[in-house]
Structure 1
């Protein structure tokens, strides 16, 4: 039975896009595919963009994108494309974080007592920062690296 409010249609569209994301992500992760992995990743990112436009949460899409980018940076090394730059990825992660570092430090002290939306914000920070652990050693020395290091020191304390 089809939903009259459109909710079922949206969920179907998200799932179709996520199916395309997952298939192309598998190809992008396949180490036997060499440099072609970057092409598969771009197709995967396009599918993820479609899922996000259909209603997939941006925080989930960002985490998925950042994880795949970090994996390919670690496996294939950076190239001239900013998409595969460790420093650009770090900047993108910092920009996507829903909280500032100082706010996160305050909230993490008693995170179990926080309202659900604040716990979700802390958890989102933890998820978005995960890929940085894979490529931190590739970051250039500077303010972005300093910020990432500070966040990664806090990450084990995030819910």
Structure 2
């Protein structure tokens, strides 16, 4: 998780939080956590689609936390295989969050006139943050793929 121009290695320790695109893990945590909290705080009207949104937000939050802890502890040992793992995870997270954001937007649109106005506003906020976290994962994915390609 280092800058694509600095080579094909992942930094260790606190350098993970100081390198681009790896510093994007912080907005990914914040926006992803907000999606998780906002969807959980409303009445879940469509269990299948909002259940997927919850799964994606919890899954990405947990895996991002594990990867961040591994990188900060230096468990990856600077091996190039971890560059591929990072790139693969960023692709999966981007696709998952894009699907979750679209499903949440569709569900919010369909429930526009059902339920309370407060739940509708919370669902709209969840949609906004779902697309925001999708954008941060997409940017992270692009630079991770560039780093992987150069390894």
TM-score bucket (shorter structure):
0.3 to 0.5
Higher relative contact order (CA 8 A, sep 6+): 2
**TM-score, L = length of structure 2:** 0.35
